[in-house]
Structure 1
Amino acid sequence: TAVKHEWGAELNAQRIEESLQQDTTITHVGVIHHETTTGRLNNLSMVGILAHRYGKILLVDGVSSFGGEELNFEEWNVGAIAATANKCLHGIPGISFVVARRELLDQTDFQPRSVYLNLREYYRQQEGGGTPFTHSVQVLYALDEALKEFHEQGGWRARHEKYRQLAQSIRTRAQELGIKMYLEGGMLAVTLTALRLPANLSYQTLHDHLKAAGFVIYAGQGDAGKVMFRIANMGEIEKVDIDRLFLAIKELL
């Protein structure tokens, strides 16, 4: 059962609860924490409370929020969350992982849909000190170092605060140039900002100009690609980089 919302809208608690009440076959509730096409941060606390109220397991896509946004497993009743080594953890692409409650993986009615994505087998092998397949070792070493750095720098709270300051700098500089936010209100992620394209400026022109200046931005997806662009501030990015980025943007306006 899909609970659909308008593009960029915040999650509607009433509609989610109505679906849980009406469809008794639902066993799990899946939600994306940070919706990267718009920069919307979905309210996991609300969804988790509803899932718990109706005895459902909450599954979270935390690919672009894990390590950079608050995630409370206990209070939000999270059953499992999928994430990746890069993005907020500052590792390199090449490996993803699932953090799950052990009791879910121990369930006897667990039916894997594929060999490669059999989480129970990964879990069983991990408990024995192994893996079901040969991983890219250098990616694991990079993740190990990234996690050490993550904790040395203060964990998710410190990283969240750094991202928040960078995101605020992006949004302030954009406003100074008359560039509007794609989303005007509600919960927004601190890792990415979606902005409306200035009048008479195509995304391709903006992208090519910034790439020549040493920056890479992202287009909107679907129809939004015609009216917006996205700036991410994950990774080793400092305020001076944001300043240089907007100097380059200003050259086109």
Structure 2
Amino acid sequence: MDRMNFVPGPQAKEQIFNAQGHMFFSRQTAVDFADEFIMNAPGGCGGAHLPLLYQTMLACLNEGDQVGIWFGLRDPDPAAGQEEYPSGELVGHSWALVKTTDGRERHLWEVGRRTPAAAEAHAARAFNAYREAMARFHTQEVPEPIPVDVNAADLPEEFNGKPVISRALSPSNLYYASDRMWYFVDLTSPCDLGSPAILSRPMRSFDALALSALMTLAQGRPPLVFGISNTTDTLGKVPAGYVRASYEADATIGSAEGKPLLVL
């Protein structure tokens, strides 16, 4: 996978802070992202469904339609029943809406610290795809994939009546970990555990927010999104395993012992 040498840094966090909790885009962004992330997916449009996904993304927004994405944080308010989490994750939500030219509005996805995490099977599948991409980038032999239980619980489709997306896009991860995480979006169907993931290029959190909204419009359901956070001893290496996290800066996570954090 090209760009596996992309390293997150201050610019990724600066983009999030400069947005001041709101970003929006229209049809031209859908065209640009289809060209950048779908047409140029690893292997081009090698996945059988990618040409169709490319065309669908080109058509998912009409002229005048607009997608808005909001994200915000605040300290827990005990008076409102908001307890402090041991992980240190703050209260807040990220959510995406599409507003069409006729004034209709649709909720695409939402995530907060109480959003249920994806099943471990999705984390294993994400890790397999990431490790394979790393191995191919370094021209090393691809390790045997770790087992994925295809009968495991699926991604929760809704929470509090809103479509669910990965905890990697929660505000605490965006604001406090976006300068340390590689973001990936799975370009396959989010409900098909039996097929290998086809990962987007590694991207900054800002791009992952936009691509996730567009993938939801194109597929009718939020995609699988995850973040990888390496330490100095795991940077640039094909990992043997991973440590699962919902919040990358989780104060309760001890030493990962040479394993990157997978945030999902």
**TM superposition score category, shorter chain reference:** under 0.3
Higher relative contact order (CA 8 A, sep 6+): 2
Which one has the largest radius of gyration?
1
TM-score normalised to the size of structure 2?
A: 0.25
TM-score normalised to the size of structure 1?
A: 0.26
